[in-house]
Structure 1
Amino acid sequence: MNVPDIVVFLGRFHPLVVHLPIGILLLAFLMWSYDFWKKSTAFSQAIAFSLLLGTLGAAASCLIGYMLSLSGGYSDQALNWHMWAGIATTALAAWAYLSFTLKLKSNKNEHIRWASLTLMVIVLSITGHLGGNLTHGSDYLTEYAPIIGERANQLPLPRQVEAAMVYDHIAKPIIQAKCVSCHSDEKKKGGLSMVDAASMMRGGDSGSLFAQPFTENEVLRRIHLSESDEDVMPPKGKTQLTEEEKKILAFWLKHSGAFGLALDSIGNDSINHLAAVYLGLAQGGYDQAQMIALDSVPRATIENLITEGVVIRELVAGSNSYDVRIPSSVGHDKGIELLKKLEPLFENIIWLHLSGLGLKDEELTSVETMDNLVKLRLDNNDLTDEGIKVLSNMKSLEVLNVYGNTLTDSCLVNLSDVKNLKTVYAWKTGITAPRLGKVMLIGAESSIE
């Protein structure tokens, strides 16, 4: 529907105008309550005048509210309930006003006043609640309620950021704070609701929320527009996304919502650091109390590896203990070559990232000799149960990520031999057991609802 700009302009005054009759009608009810309690008529004229103003104000609110509804973007059912409740409030206010001005038998008139004013306040409250649902979403009132509220039932934060869920812990709070007021089931700007995963997967008028190629994603484009731009999300006048929130949402969009996935299953050090700051969590803390004395590695050796593309970070200054990552961008063959060149550092590697290199079972044997390795990322490779056997003798390994490998429960026999293993990230594998003794198998299929 093509609506004249002047109609939309006037309609947007609805939130401003509607609060005036609400206050006036509630004041009339309070004055009447006082008179009723004191068995007095001291406020009768003031009540009648307030009811007249409130009725006129409510009628004006209904009119400009209808104009606002023509701009679209609202659920028809929610809008109709709010509209008819507003009309009912106006009618009850008018009825109450007449009860204070018409000459009726005293007893009958008192009953009409009592009924009309009481019903008016009840319907007024319902109308306000329905209007709040249109603006903020249906769970706005109960979000912080104990036991039943959304906040009371959200997932608790883990101790380490790597275990944080991409959607539930990181993206969802931003979406609820900055997006849902315009994209709820009651108010679908652009035909898009962001209240849950199913709604977001359906998308809106512009297509899928997670449209590819990623660089042409419509939501990504809108959140990076200037605040003065007509298409910016959130719209100008509302609290804008911070740069950190934009980066988090961009990461979330790029991974198609990453519903049910933890950060550690994706493997992105930059977003891990950003999320750690955003959530106030420790990022894979290295316990200095458990630090062992390690021999130094020639600086030239480390510099040569860095020059060839290996990312190397000392965990604690002067500790000679390193976090080492071979980026997936180097490719399979180069990755295997670099893994062999890490041999001078084998005793000093505490964390090792080998994500997305296409590693085969037989290419994993060198990892077995890294005696001090605590955290190992093997996600998105071509490993099978056979390849996991080489890990069984690793005495220091505590955290293992095997996301996206062709593994089954058969590999658990070998994992049970890893003495200090505490956590295994097993999304997108054939592993189904949720636990292995004291070891948590996070993301195993049997633990996902």
Structure 2
Amino acid sequence: MIDFILPLFGRFHPILVHLPIGFLVFGVILIFWFGKKYSIYSPIIQLAFLLGGISAGLASISGFLQYQNEGYGWETVKFHLILGILTTIFSFGLWYHLKRAASTPAQLKIKGAGLIMIITITGHLGGNITHGDDYFTEVLPPELQALLGGEVSINEPLELPADNWEEVAFYTGAVQPILDQNCKSCHNPKKLKGELDLSSFKGIQKGGEDGSVLTSKDAEESSLFTRMILPEDHDDHMPPKDKRQPRKEEIELIKAWIESGASESRKLGESNISEDMVEPFFKKIEKPFYPEVEVGKVPQDSISKLKDRGFFAEVIKEGSSFLNISCINFPAFTNSNWNLLTSAQEQIVYLDLTGTAITDAIFESISTLPNLTVLKLNKTSIDGSQLDKLSSNKNLKLLYLNETKVAMDKLDKLQGHPALEKVFVYNTPAAGSGETSQFSFHLETGNLSLPPLPTDTIVY
């Protein structure tokens, strides 16, 4: 009936272990703070070490009982336990030494510093048992982890190749990366929370203290899956709500793996997995919007001169040499003013000439901008007769011709442009010309309409 007492006392170890730390650190602080007045404060210092020794002894006993009853391996706890006992002995020894001393003991500060070092190492080893060896270092940058001698383990999000995803091993190539990123920090050989290791196929098959977590071909009977789909505030939800949560697509992939037989070697293509299920994990190669070329920076005084002339001029982002030039405050800009921009023709990637007094002859000058990516010619008098000149702007992606005189037939001059993605022609002759699908780029005409809804006719 009373067999529960010793295991219960063992479980008090995480609470008791903080008492000696407080008492002993307090005692050492007094040694350093009141060293010259030791005779006055010696009773308090002695009491701190006495209470520290008693609580350290109780913590050591409870730690030993927890080791015996909670299934910890000796190799895991031995140094922590030995140093805990050593802390107890050192504390009582220092108390006895101070009690017998008639005056300030020799090298008292050195002895106090030595005790702090033992406490620090003991606490660090205890933290490793509870939280894992990398508890403090796992949040550090990989380079700093390596410098400190740690094992650098970067759990990257799951990525699958779009071209041959069928050849990827379902478990090692898809399931284990998901578990590594979401579950491995608490369930690994060094930190077996719930006696469960989710860092390997063998560990998953073995299960934890509550038994198996995997039932082949039955996800609803596999706690590996069911605990992930519980409400986050549920006591059994995993991972805990304060931890990173797997995406819905990741959980569905784990479910599909279980229902396909939870094989270690079967490939995705052999498991009746649809492409729609794995598509969210395809590697996405993002192409930079602006050109990837090195160009010299325009001197700051040159940018200041542009601003003084009426241009809005700034770099597109910090550290870049590319410029955004706008005439929003320079509506009097004409073709003849182009010479003001020639000093920055390599750097201009965004040019807004909206509302200026330019004509189609400006296209000859615009064609000299090798890195131009966005061009806005809205609300100008151009008719598009020289749009073919833009074929020289190999990086042009977006062209705005809204509220101009450009007709549909003039847009043919842009057909086959090497980079052009979208052309905007709101409120132009081209916008009302009907068919827009014949171009190699997407044409935005602005002729959009919403279907009528029954509620549109209700009078309130």
Larger radius of gyration: 2
Q: TM-score, normalised by structure 1?
A: 0.47
Structure with more relative contact order (C-alpha pairs < 8 Å, separation 6 or more) = 1
Query: Of Structure 1 and Structure 2, which has the larger fraction of its residues in helix?
Result: 1
